[in-house]
């Protein structure tokens, strides 16, 4: 029988993606980091804010950091006003992004369930749902039966160790295909004249009279009117080149996939108490995030006992997964701030802009921060949606504490 | 393809026929078969269809590298996406070919899974010629050895070679080696076991298949967590295909696989065979199949073949065509012939096409050493032009390669290489020891005599043969047959501007299928490097990630499922609660009684009854989960002064004080009581959930900041049961329980502690109240917990004593405005926000968190403060988690001014009520707001957090 | 899962330990004397080097003692362990052992060197 498997065919990439130019000697804006954030920032600068003389410098291959390693969950149901503000802006951009970029992103608004397992989880969940609604974010509380309706494979038996008491549900949340997103931005930016320079590591920032004027790279000196840092897990290292100390710690975060399976899991499920977040990607593989290794690490790998624990948690919630197979594990580097919220904005050095500390929120925030960070660079002042995420909040104490908030931070 | 089972030969047991079904059709194989060999033996060569193009798929290999023969097993144990080549045939096996996606069975997994830890001096992965040699050398030297192999028996390719070892079949030598290894007490041989991951410090994970092949009560699969000091990787190699048009047709197989099917399973995979090769190794299968009666033609890309091989072919009746390549396989659903072309196609004469019929096309493009584990162990690889594959760079200390994994050229070299690797490991073991080890560094090992005809080189580096025009569009030259990735796809990727192999992989999905590119990866790199005009080494390959082969979720979860997912903690009185119908709440790992419904009662009714008892007569609670830390030492008071916001060192012996702990950033971390039993002895209580973390917190400060303080902190949570005895009649009950204790108000005031004999049990009574009522907390050793509880119930019985659970506890404390850390706080709340400013010392020079209070942000008028809420209509419930807004005219979005953190109905107030964190809350007391939730909109009045007995009159009874 | 060399117990499985972040960040002698920025520096700002890092570990599942370690955050390898009151070893000596020019991969390879032999 000569048939193809439904859902297993994913759209082809276009015949041409991007130019591979040699770096010019000077740009209006140099963006350090060719991940999702750097590419999106370049794209929005060029498409919305009229700056096209831009280089994106990437020390490896484009989109090869956390963009290539994350579990692609997109949602905006964060507790605090500031967080839901930026993530909801991002989600709205996601909703028009395929058209905007002219690229298939496999953006699938299949909804996200955040499970509650204790009475306190229930209280926290309802609080967040209500806050989301009043912030204009779609959200609802569903009971255990409602969870079962949305995702029939979740075990809602009261006999499990931590029974599912209900969940918050964001229907507009979902997943997208990470490489497609990075490449969509890269191709569009390249088309708009942005130079994407790979295998180009920034080794120094040149600062004269309190103003950044260029970068030193493994491919030589490049002058820059403005420099924007978007180096994710390596932000501490890059910012240190400008003498900026960041309250970041870089941790290994692991993820894994199963073999390709017939559709079984229609939505995205996350659980804080039984630490799981899982979706089934378009080709059919289960994509699952594991825990963060507690220690600092740049190794893009983690310890296996974390994977084993993850499997226990997965089967606890999804007994049907018992027979699935672990096909591949990998690690990324998450840069975590003390309040689990990002740091975005201007710095004390003129012309130097900062975007880091996204922890596990980087992928879903890509369009939102790309746009607002680009606006910030173009206007030389923080976009209103990112004002709360300034570096100086750690001195004033005005944190945006998503640790304290019960939302699963992924 | 006309594969058939031969009447004799192989290691299958013809006396044990095994019925099975494939694709709904009944077949019979034999004991010792794999599903693949049984199907080939039954003449079945076609499987499912390919994922994107729907092309027919057959059997390519005989092992873990299988890229094509994917099956769904339906019985006896349903499992998605397995390899037909690695499934042992068992009675009742039912499977079907697979297209793209496996299916998860919905029935619960009845399997049992476990894990074992093992420590060893040497781990040998792979029990072929090299691995067995290594294990023998180490075992004879006295080392502890674990030898693991994924096959059902040791021997590796020795089981399949026609070449003799010491004049006997290889299998005989392997069996003897196994027998000898079994005599060493410090040697463990694990078959059906696959090492799938290497982590730091010699930590190797392996999966053992224990009962899939037999009916057994054993665990189904087991994870071995092996900690080894030295590793020999004798993991062999994977034969590499060659890419040409229609190279995915069923009937096209790796050359070595055909030999395995013949020698082990007595299956002749075809009658008319073309062998397409770039190297000598494929001549072994050619000779073997010819000897078994097949008509064989060898097509060799190399212009010259060694005289020995030519003469061997002549003797065997094998036709050879050197300097030729297969440019296309012919056939629709299975191979029926090949189209040849002169190779490399630079001959002066115009290319002459030759067509040969065949029903089996064997290919060998050379061999890839299996270096997944080596690479996982962060060993580096380099491309070797002479072998046309990636090989290991210099071995890393502690990890030794042997045999084909080390690119050792032939069988003789593998034996020698295994022995050498073991000796290197033994030497490193010795060097790592201060004392002489238990083993020697050498042992006798005589390299067996083998005559090797077939070496890894000379080999011609060939990745893909250009397609003849009629096969060019669409391109049917498959690099990755599982993902349907063609040469053209790879070229489209490079044409799109991609130059990193990771990009190409992601563009095409090359190497992302179940086989993770085991046989396609190197070819992909070769083709892409050629397209980019760079060396393969410069391009590199993509990273090898664990696991080496897919591993079931269930075995990784092991026994940590259900009740064992996380330990269940219960108090000493738990059985009584169960017996008396309590419902339980999960609080951290604890099971706490939530409420005790009587017949016909729901939560609200039970809680109303329990609350009424506590406020009007007497009630009791199992409070044993409360964290209890015993803090002792001359500096204990000074230490606690730093930890708590209030002054502790001034507390009198025999007294109790409520205290608040903050994190350094000034946010409330925990609260509880501090009980001073002696000048240098305190008992500190914590919230149930924070008991362990507060002890750790104390240790951290004591050890890392103030080691000069003479203080010891010890967890005593489980040592004692704690029973709050609550209510206006509690004093009378206590008087009965502790007749020797003077319970009068004067003798035993509020916030005092007394040693006492309670119901005949030595213990302690604290006059603490978390309800506002007259109350005593009874503490006795845990072993006497149930005895005390029963005594309390008996003594209280005449007074109508009522056991109550956490829900009632929460209502009672909320009526009094007592916050619960973690419920009424969320990590952003200071003691001042909670109205606990009175518990923040102004006298102390410093305590943890003090400096943070001086930040301007702490003085902002819009800080969220804990207040009470009363519904304007007292019969209307305030929803938990509601957000507070200033208008009933709800629009989205809309500003919020706070949220409801605790909401209950109060019998005492005859009203619903709530605690809430509200911006500038205390200044809003008396104002109306609206509590909005998904469920309802309730108009409320902001009130003081203390709604009941605000003057504190009830605590003395 | 690596073996962590507890200075009191010897090498034990990683799961027995808790991470404690950067070492040698003492609680300020006089917090009240610090400005907000200096106080924030103590509260929130820790080094995050890619390479050798002096940090605190707690053998929570063993002797329950805190200790300090120098660990390479690229390879995760422990380069030294010492008691909390001991001075910080000279980090430069470890930089020399793992030169900053070395690519991640190279440093990872050197970690595997230790993997089986130590």
DSSP letters spanning B630-653: EEESTTHHHHHHHHBSS--TTPPT
Q: How confident is the model at residue B542 (pLDDT cuts 50, 70, 90)?
A: low
Q: Which residues of chain C have pLDDT under 50?
A: 99-118
**Topology of domain B111-239+366-459+558-565, CATH:** FAD/NAD(P)-binding domain (3.50.50)
Interatomic CA distance for residues A248 and A270, integer angstroms: 25
pLDDT digits (tens, 9 = 90+) for B917-933: 999 999 999 999 999 99
Residue A290 tokens read as: 């594991």
Q: Check whether B469 has a pLDDT greater than 60.
A: yes
Q: Check whether B541 has a pLDDT greater than 70.
A: no
CB contact under 8 A, B199 and C1: yes
CB contact under 8 A, A8 and B100: yes
CB contact under 8 A, B696 and C36: no
Radius of gyration of chain A (CA): 21
Question: Phi and psi (nearest 5°) for A378?
Answer: -65, -40
**Residue A294 contacts C where some CB pair is shorter than 8 Å:** yes
CB contact under 8 A, A274 and B51: no
Residue B360 CB contacts under 8 Å (≥ 6 apart), including other chains: B1, B3, B251, B253, B258, B269, B270, B271, B272, B273, B274, B294, B335
The domains spanning B4-107+241-364 and B111-239+366-459+558-565 adopt the same CATH topology? yes
pLDDT score at C103: 32
**Topology of domain B4-107+241-364, CATH:** FAD/NAD(P)-binding domain (3.50.50)
- Chain B segment 566-625 residues within 8 A of A by beta carbon are 566, 568, 585-587
- For domain B862-952, is the CATH number 3.10.620.30? no
Interatomic CA distance for residues B439 and B422, integer angstroms: 12
Smallest CA–CA separation between C49 and chain B, in Å?
21
pLDDT score at C111: 30
Pairing of strands B56-58, B4-5: unpaired
Scanning every residue of chain A, which has its alpha carbon at the shortest distance from the alpha carbon of B500?
A61
User: For chain B, which residues make up each domain, given as ranges?
Assistant: 4-107+241-364, 111-239+366-459+558-565, 460-539, 574-624+719-813, 627-718, 862-952
DSSP letters spanning B249-309: STTEEEHHHHHHHHHHH-EE--SEEEEEESBGGGHHHHHHHHHTT-EEEEEESSS---HHH
Can you state the angle between helices B691-704 and B636-643, rounded to 10 degrees?
A: 110
- Chain A segment 201-240 residues within 8 A of C by beta carbon are 234, 236-237
Q: How confident is the model at residue B621 (pLDDT cuts 50, 70, 90)?
A: very high
- Which residues of B fall within a CB distance of 8 Å from C11? 201
**Residue A199 contacts C where some CB pair is shorter than 8 Å:** no
Strand partners for B673: B658
Q: Check whether B398 has a pLDDT greater than 70.
A: yes
- Which residues of A fall within a CB distance of 8 Å from B826? 124, 401, 404-406
**Residue C86 contacts B where some CB pair is shorter than 8 Å:** no
CB contact under 8 A, C44 and A394: yes
Burial class (CB in 10 A: 0-12, 13-18, 19+), B24: exposed
Q: Which residues of chain A have pLDDT under 70?
A: 1-9, 404-410
Task: Give me the mean pLDDT over the B818-838 stretch.
Answer: 95
Residue B84 CB neighbour total at 10 angstroms = 28
pLDDT score at A408: 37
Q: Which CATH superfamily is domain B627-718 in?
A: Aminomethyltransferase beta-barrel domains (3.30.70.1400)
Interatomic CA distance for residues A339 and A162, integer angstroms: 27
pLDDT digits (tens, 9 = 90+) for B931-943: 999 889 999 999 9
Find out whether B288 and B262 touch, Cβ atoms under 8 Å. Answer: yes
pLDDT score at C80: 95
**Residue B736 contacts A where some CB pair is shorter than 8 Å:** no
- For domain B460-539, is the CATH number 1.10.3470? no
Mean pLDDT of chain B: 94
Lowest mean pLDDT among A4-13, B24-33, B119-128, B488-497: A4-13
Q: Which CATH superfamily is domain B574-624+719-813 in?
A: Probable tRNA modification gtpase trme; domain 1 (3.30.1360.120)
Scanning every residue of chain C, which has its alpha carbon at the shortest distance from the alpha carbon of A308?
C1
Scanning every residue of chain C, which has its alpha carbon at the shortest distance from the alpha carbon of A300?
C74
pLDDT score at B351: 59
CB contact under 8 A, A295 and C55: yes
pLDDT score at B46: 84
Give the range of the structural domain holding residue C51, as residue numbers without chain letter: 3-117
CATH code of the domain covering residue C109? 3.30.2270.10
Chain A and chain C share a number of CB contacts under 8 A equal to 68
pLDDT score at B718: 96
pLDDT score at B636: 98
DSSP letters spanning B876-932: SPPPTTPEEES-SS--SS----EEEEEEEEETTTTEEEEEEEEETGGGGTT-EEEEE
Phi-psi region of B879 (alpha: psi -120 to 50; beta: other; left: phi over 0): beta
pLDDT score at B47: 80
Find out whether A175 and A28 touch, Cβ atoms under 8 Å. Answer: no
- Chain B segment 464-523 residues within 8 A of A by beta carbon are 492-493, 495-500, 502-503, 506-507, 509, 513-514, 516
Q: At which residue do the structure tokens 């005031």 appear?
A: B749
DSSP letters spanning B427-466: HHHHHT-SS--SS-S----PPPPB-----S-SB----BPP
**Residue B75 contacts A where some CB pair is shorter than 8 Å:** no
pLDDT score at B349: 58
CB contact under 8 A, B553 and A311: yes
**Residue C63 contacts B where some CB pair is shorter than 8 Å:** no
Task: Give me the mean pLDDT over the B424-431 stretch.
Answer: 92
Q: Check whether B608 has a pLDDT greater than 80.
A: yes
Q: Check whether B441 has a pLDDT greater than 80.
A: no
**Residue A61 contacts C where some CB pair is shorter than 8 Å:** no
Pairing of strands A285-292, A249-260: antiparallel
- Which residues of B fall within a CB distance of 8 Å from A2? 49, 54-56
ipTM of the predicted structure? 0.94
pLDDT score at A88: 98
Interatomic CA distance for residues B97 and B92, integer angstroms: 16
Phi-psi region of B764 (alpha: psi -120 to 50; beta: other; left: phi over 0): beta
Q: At which residue do the structure tokens 């193009």 appear?
A: B53
CB contact under 8 A, C113 and B397: yes
Number of domains in chain C: 1
- Chain B segment 288-317 residues within 8 A of A by beta carbon are none
Lowest mean pLDDT among A208-222, B338-352, B515-529, B643-657: B338-352
């Amino acid at each position: 029988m000569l048939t193809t498997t439904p859902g297993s065919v994913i759209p082809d990439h276009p015949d041409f993606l991007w130019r591979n130019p040699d770096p010019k000697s000077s740009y209006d804006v140099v963006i350090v980091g060719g991940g999702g954030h750097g590419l999106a920032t370049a794209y929005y600068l060029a498409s919305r804010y009229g700056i096209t003389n831009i280089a994106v410098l990437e020390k490896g291959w484009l989109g090869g950091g956390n963009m290539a390693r994350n579990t692609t969950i997109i949602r905006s149901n964060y507790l605090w006003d500031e967080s839901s503000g930026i993530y909801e802006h991002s989600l709205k951009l996601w909703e028009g992004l395929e058209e905007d970029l002219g690229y298939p992103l496999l953006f699938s608004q299949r909804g996200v369930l955040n499970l509650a397992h204790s009475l306190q989880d229930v209280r926290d969940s309802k609080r967040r749902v209500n806050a989301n609604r009043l912030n204009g974010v779609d959200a609802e509380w569903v009971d255990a039966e409602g969870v079962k309706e949305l995702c029939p494979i979740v075990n809602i038996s009261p006999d499990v160790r931590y029974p599912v008491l209900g969940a918050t549900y964001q229907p507009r949340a979902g997943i997208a295909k990470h490489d497609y997103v990075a490449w969509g931005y890269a191709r569009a930016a390249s088309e708009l004249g942005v130079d994407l320079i790979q295998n180009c590591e920034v080794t120094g920032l040149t600062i004269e009279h309190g103003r950044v004027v260029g970068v030193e790279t493994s491919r030589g000196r490049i002058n820059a009117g403005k420099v924007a840092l978007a180096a994710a897990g390596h932000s501490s290292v890059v910012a240190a080149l400008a003498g900026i100390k960041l309250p970041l710690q870089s941790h290994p975060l692991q993820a894994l996939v199963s073999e390709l399976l017939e559709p079984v899991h229609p939505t995205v499920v996350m659980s804080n108490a039984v630490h799981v977040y899982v979706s089934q990607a378009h080709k059919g593989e289960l994509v699952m995030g594991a825990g963060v290794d507690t220690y600092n690490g740049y190794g893009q790998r983690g310890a296996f006992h974390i994977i084993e624990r993850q499997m226990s948690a997965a089967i606890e919630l999804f007994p049907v997964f018992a027979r699935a197979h672990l096909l591949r594990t990998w690690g990324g580097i998450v840069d975590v701030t003390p309040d689990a919220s990002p740091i975005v904005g201007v710095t004390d050095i003129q012309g130097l802009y900062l975007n880091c500390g996204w922890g596990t929120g980087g992928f879903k925030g890509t369009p939102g921060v790309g746009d607002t960070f680009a606006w910030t660079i173009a206007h030389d002042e923080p976009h209103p949606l990112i004002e709360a995420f300034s570096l100086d909040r750690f001195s004033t104490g005005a944190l945006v504490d998503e640790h304290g908030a019960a939302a699963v931070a992924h | 393809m006309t594969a058939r089972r031969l009447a004799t030969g192989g290691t299958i047991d013809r006396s044990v026929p095994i019925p099975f079904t494939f694709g709904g059709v009944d077949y019979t194989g034999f004991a010792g078969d794999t599903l693949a060999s049984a199907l080939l033996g039954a003449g079945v060569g076609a499987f499912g269809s390919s994922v994107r193009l729907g092309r027919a798929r057959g059997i390519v290999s005989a092992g873990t590298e299988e890229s094509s023969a994917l099956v769904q097993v339906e019985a006896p144990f349903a499992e998605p996406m397995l390899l037909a080549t690695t499934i042992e045939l068992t009675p009742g096996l039912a499977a079907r070919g697979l297209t793209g996606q496996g299916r998860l069975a919905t029935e619960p997994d009845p399997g049992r899974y476990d894990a074992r830890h093992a420590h060893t001096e040497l781990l040998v992965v792979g029990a072929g010629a090299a691995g067995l040699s290594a294990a023998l050398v180490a075992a004879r030297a006295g080392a502890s050895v674990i030898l693991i192999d994924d096959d059902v028996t040791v021997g590796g390719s020795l089981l399949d070679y026609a070449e003799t070892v010491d004049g006997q079949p290889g299998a005989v030598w392997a069996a003897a080696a196994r027998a000898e290894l079994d005599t060493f007490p410090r040697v463990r041989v694990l078959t059906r076991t696959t090492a799938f991951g290497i982590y730091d410090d010699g930590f190797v994970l392996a999966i053992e298949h224990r009962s899939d092949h037999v009916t057994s009560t054993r665990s189904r699969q087991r994870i071995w967590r092996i900690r080894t000091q030295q590793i020999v990787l004798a993991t062999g190699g994977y034969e590499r295909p060659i890419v040409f048009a229609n190279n995915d047709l069923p009937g096209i197989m790796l050359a070595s696989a055909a030999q395995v099917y013949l020698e082990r399973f007595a299956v002749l995979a075809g009658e008319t065979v073309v062998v397409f090769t770039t190297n000598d190794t494929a001549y072994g299968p050619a000779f073997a199949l010819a000897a078994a009666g097949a008509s064989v033609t060898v097509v060799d890309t190399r212009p010259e073949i060694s005289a020995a091989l030519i003469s061997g072919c002549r003797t065997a009746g094998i036709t050879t065509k050197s300097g030729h390549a297969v440019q296309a396989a012919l056939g629709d659903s299975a191979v029926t012939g090949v189209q040849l072309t002169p190779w490399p196609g630079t001959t002066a004469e115009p290319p002459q096409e030759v067509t040969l019929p065949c029903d089996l096309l064997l290919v060998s493009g050379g061999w890839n050493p299996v270096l997944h584990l080596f690479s996982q162990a962060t060993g580096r690889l380099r491309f070797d032009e002479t072998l046309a594959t990636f090989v290991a760079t210099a071995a890393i200390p502690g990890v030794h390669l042997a045999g084909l994994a080390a690119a050792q050229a032939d069988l003789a070299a593998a034996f020698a290489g295994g022995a050498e690797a073991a000796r290197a490991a033994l030497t490193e073991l010795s060097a790592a020891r201060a004392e002489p080890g238990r083993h020697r560094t050498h042992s006798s090992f005589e390299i067996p005599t083998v005559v090797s005809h077939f070496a890894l080189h000379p080999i011609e580096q060939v990745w893909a043969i250009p397609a003849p025009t009629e096969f060019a569009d669409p391109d049917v030259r498959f690099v990755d047959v599982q993902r349907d990735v063609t040469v053209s796809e790879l070229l489209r990727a490079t044409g799109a501007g991609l130059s990193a192999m990771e990009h190409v992989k992601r563009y095409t999905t090359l190497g992302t299928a179940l086989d993770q590119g085991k046989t396609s990866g190197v070819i992909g790199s070769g083709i892409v490097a050629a397209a980019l005009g760079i060396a393969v080494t410069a391009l590199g390959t993509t990273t090898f990630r664990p696991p080496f082969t897919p591993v079931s979720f269930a075995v990784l979860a092991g026994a940590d499922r259900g009740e064992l997912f996380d330990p269940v903690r219960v108090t000493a009185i738990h059985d009584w609660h169960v017996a008396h119908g309590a419902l339980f709440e999960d609080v951290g790992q604890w099971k706490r009684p939530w409420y005790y419904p009587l017949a016909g009662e729901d939560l609200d009714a039970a809680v109303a009854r329990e609350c009424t008892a506590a406020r009007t007569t007497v009630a009791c609670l199992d409070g044993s989960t409360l964290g209890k830390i015993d803090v002792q030492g001359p500096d204990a008071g000074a230490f606690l002064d730093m930890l708590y916001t209030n002054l502790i060192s001034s507390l009198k012996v025999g007294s109790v004080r409520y205290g608040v702990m903050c994190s350094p950033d000034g946010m409330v971390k925990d609260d509880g009581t501090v009980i001073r039993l002696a000048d240098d002895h305190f008992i500190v209580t914590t919230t149930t959930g924070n008991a362990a973390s507060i002890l750790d917190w104390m240790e951290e400060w004591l050890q890392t900041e103030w080691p000069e303080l003479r203080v010891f902190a010890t967890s005593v949570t489980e040592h004692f049961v704690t029973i709050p005895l609550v209510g206006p009649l509690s004093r009378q009950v206590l008087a009965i329980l502790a007749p020797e204790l003077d319970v009068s108000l004067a003798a035993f005031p509020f916030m005092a502690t007394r040693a006492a004999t309670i119901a005949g049990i030595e213990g302690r009574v604290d006059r603490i109240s978390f309800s506002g009522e007259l109350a005593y907390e009874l503490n006795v050793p845990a072993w006497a917990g149930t005895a005390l509880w029963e005594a309390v119930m008996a003594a209280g019985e005449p007074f109508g004593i009522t056991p109550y659970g956490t829900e009632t506890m929460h209502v009672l404390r909320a009526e009094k405005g007592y916050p619960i850390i973690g419920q009424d706080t969320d990590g952003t709340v200071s003691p001042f926000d909670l109205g606990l400013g009175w518990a923040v010392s102004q006298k102390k020079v410093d305590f943890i968190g003090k400096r943070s209070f001086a930040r301007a942000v702490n003085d902002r008028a819009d800080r969220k403060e804990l207040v009470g809420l009363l519904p304007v209509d007292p019969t209307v419930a305030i929803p938990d988690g509601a957000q507070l807004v200033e208008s009933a005219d709800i629009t989205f979005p809309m500003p919020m001014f706070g949220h409801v953190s605790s909401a209950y109905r109060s019998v005492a107030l005859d009203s619903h009520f709530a605690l809430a964190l509200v911006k500038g809350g205390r200044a809003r007391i008396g104002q109306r707001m609206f509590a909005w939730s998904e469920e309802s909109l309730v108009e409320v009045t902001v009130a003081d957090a203390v709604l009941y007995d605000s003057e504190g009159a009830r605590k003395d009874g | 899962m690596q073996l962590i060399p507890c200075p009191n117990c010897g090498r034990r499985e990683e799961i027995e330990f808790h991470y404690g972040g950067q070492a040698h960040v003492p609680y300020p002698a006089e917090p009240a004397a610090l400005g907000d920025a200096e106080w924030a520096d103590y509260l929130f700002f820790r080094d995050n080097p890619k390479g050798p890092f002096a940090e605190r570990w707690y053998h929570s599942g063993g002797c329950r003692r805190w200790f300090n370690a120098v660990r390479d955050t690229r390879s995760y390898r422990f380069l030294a362990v010492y008691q909390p009151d001991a001075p910080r070893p000279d980090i430069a000596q470890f930089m020399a052992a793992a030169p900053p020019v070395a690519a991640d991969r190279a440093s990872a390879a050197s970690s595997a060197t230790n993997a089986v032999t130590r």
